[in-house]
């Protein structure tokens, strides 16, 4: 169930922020693991994990929940599931699971509001009717820094 403020922000802005949804201990574990992984060679990752590290772009690791238990807990986090199940009317589907390290000089990552067109239009991926929000596609992001 979304709060009225969450519904309002999502409808007006296309996103909202849920603070302190992830325990600080897990955030620290995930940050440490991300920095450790960023030092690995591509061949060190066992499928289905993989990386994408183009020059000047954010560093990405895919399917990180297969590589560390803190990321597994993130997938089943009760506060995140509250939002996901509310937006999808209890029919969530995972499209892609990715983590990234984005430095200030990296290009190509929008942190709020989801995709800027691309193959999805953020203006046509959700509906509001009878005080209910339904989203068929959305980008759920968890920031490990504030």
- Of 1, 6, 137, nearest to 78 by C-alpha is 1
| pLDDT value of residue 113 | 46
| pLDDT value of residue 37 | 96
| pLDDT value of residue 109 | 59
The C-alpha atoms of residue 15 and residue 141 are separated, in whole angstroms, by: 10
- Cα dist from 19 to 11, 52, 107, whole Å: 19, 28, 26
Q: For the chain, which ranges sit under pLDDT 50?
A: 112-115, 117-118
Domain locations in the chain? 4-135
Q: Edge-to-edge strand order for the sheet containing 59-62?
A: 50-52, 59-62, 98-101
The C-alpha atoms of residue 67 and residue 48 are separated, in whole angstroms, by: 9
| pLDDT value of residue 121 | 54
- Cα dist from 32 to 11, 28, 71, 91, whole Å: 35, 6, 12, 32
| pLDDT value of residue 131 | 79
- Of 118, 116, 111, 114, nearest to 137 by C-alpha is 114
| pLDDT value of residue 124 | 58
| pLDDT value of residue 44 | 97
**Cβ-Cβ contacts under 8 Å for 93 (sequence gap 6 or more):** none
Q: Is the pTM of this model over 0.85?
A: no
């Amino acid at each position: 169930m979304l709060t009225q403020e969450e519904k309002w922000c999502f409808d007006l802005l296309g996103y909202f922020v849920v603070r302190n949804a992830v325990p600080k201990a897990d955030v620290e574990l995930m940050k440490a693991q991300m920095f450790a992984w960023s030092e690995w060679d591509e061949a060190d990752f066992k499928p289905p994990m993989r990386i994408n590290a183009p020059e000047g772009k954010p560093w990405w690791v895919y399917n990180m929940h297969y590589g560390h238990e803190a990321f597994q807990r993130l997938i089943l986090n009760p506060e995140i599931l509250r939002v996901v199940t509310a937006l999808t009317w209890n029919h969530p589907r995972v499209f892609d699971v990715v983590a990234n390290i984005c430095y200030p000089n990296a290009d190509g990552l929008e942190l709020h509001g989801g995709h800027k067109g691309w193959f999805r239009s953020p203006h046509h991926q959700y509906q509001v009717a009878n005080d209910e929000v339904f989203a068929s596609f959305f980008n759920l992001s968890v920031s490990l820094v504030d």
